[in-house]
Amino acid sequence: MKKNTVIYVLGGAVVVLLLALVGILAYNYGKGDKPAQAETAPVEKPAPDTVVVREQVAAPAPKPEPEPEPEIQRNVLADSDWHLVGTIAGKGVVVDLTNYDGELHGSYYYSKYGASGALQLDGYVDRSGNVSLEEYNSNNGVYSGYLTGRISRKGVLSGSFTNNRGNTYKVYLQAK
């Protein structure tokens, strides 16, 4: 065989292989694009002068999942009036304070005795929620102790109360 003939034969074989590869790729690509067809009964062919209208029915759109409600972040530190309920030394108390630019003024009473036995509170809260209050007897203004603690933005005040005799008790209050 001549050298040119071998080149033409090899070149032809390469072209045939390339065409076969392109055909295989095109066949496989076409399979992936076609929607699956449901098995149906044979359809009668309409008469040549009949117009056939096919209705396309779209699949229903998936319902979006409801978004969760955003958690409401309460910022008690921004409130001017605080109503707190909880315990001091394990006894139920109700505390009402007014926050005026970090200065706190108000009163509290033990639930057992009611509002008639209210004690006066004066002090401050800083931007971080650190609370310091002094307690006075509402009837005679005599100092009777102090409360220190921290109030969270969600309204939980925890800390301690020390009376004028030096006894210290746990404090847990929550904004209502």
**Higher-pLDDT residue of 17, 102:** 102
Let me know how long the chain is: 176
- Looking at every residue in the chain, the average pLDDT score rounds to 80
Q: How far apart are CA 144 and CA 110, in angstroms?
A: 15
Nearest CA to 161 out of 82, 84, 88 is that of 88
Residue 135 has pLDDT above 70, yes or no: yes
Per domain, the residue ranges of the chain are: 1-27, 79-175
Q: How far apart are CA 113 and CA 129, in angstroms?
A: 29
Enumerate residues 6+ apart whose C-beta is below 8 A from 52: 46
71-107, pLDDT tens digit by residue?
556 677 777 899 999 999 999 999 999 999 899 999 9
Enumerate residues 6+ apart whose C-beta is below 8 A from 154: 73, 74, 76, 175
36-75, pLDDT tens digit by residue?
555 555 666 666 666 656 666 667 777 777 776 655 566 7
Which one of 2.20.180, 3.40.50, 1.10.287, 2.40.128 gives the CATH number of domain 79-175? 2.40.128
The three-state secondary structure class of 165 is coil
Specify the pTM.
Answer: 0.57
Enumerate residues 6+ apart whose C-beta is below 8 A from 162: 145, 146, 147, 148, 168, 169
Percent of the chain scored above 70 by pLDDT? 64
Q: Identify the weakest region by mean pLDDT among 15-24, 108-117, 145-154.
A: 15-24
Nearest CA to 90 out of 175, 172, 4, 8 is that of 172
78's tokens: 């921004």
Q: For residue 53, what pLDDT is reported?
A: 60
Q: How far apart are CA 102 and CA 82, in angstroms?
A: 12
Q: Phi then psi for 129, rounded to 5 degrees? A: 95, 10
pLDDT (mean) for 164-176: 94
CB–CB of 119/105 below 8 Å?
A: no
Q: For residue 6, what pLDDT is reported?
A: 55
Enumerate residues 6+ apart whose C-beta is below 8 A from 116: 109
